[in-house]
Amino acid sequence: MLVIRLSRHGRKNLAVYRVVLSEHTKPVKYGYKEVLWSYDPIKHALKADVDVILGWIAKWAQPSERLAKLLLKETNNKLFDKFIEHRERKGTTKKEEKK
């Protein structure tokens, strides 16, 4: 199964992530087939060609949950919403425990 995910590069405290296409069994750092663009978390800039990513999704590639959240925020395309697992918070907060 092909996976579109983030691969961390850069130096310490200055991370840059590449959006890569890889087999799900391969290592994240160097087992990828194609680099689809990049993401800079410091500037909050996603430099990605969404059409290419949508083309790979049409060919049965699956984006990671973190990448799907970034793409949903960037494009507002509801297609990426189905790759996000919506969880509910359990338990109480500290303020509720004190009362």
- CB atoms < 10 A from the CB of 97, how many? 8
pLDDT at 57: 92
Strand, coil or helix: 88: coil
Which domains, from first to last, does the chain contain?
2-86 (3.30.1320.10)
Radius of gyration (C-alpha) of the chain in whole angstroms: 16
Spatial contact of 65 and 84, defined as CB atoms under 8 Å apart: yes
Q: Is 1 exposed, middle or buried (0-12, 13-18, 19+ CB in 10 A)?
A: exposed
The per-residue pLDDT for 91 is: 72
pLDDT, residue 2, reads 92
pLDDT (tens place) for every residue of the chain, 99 residues total: 899 999 999 899 899 998 899 998 888 777 888 888 888 988 888 888 889 989 999 999 999 999 999 999 888 999 999 999 888 877 766 666 666
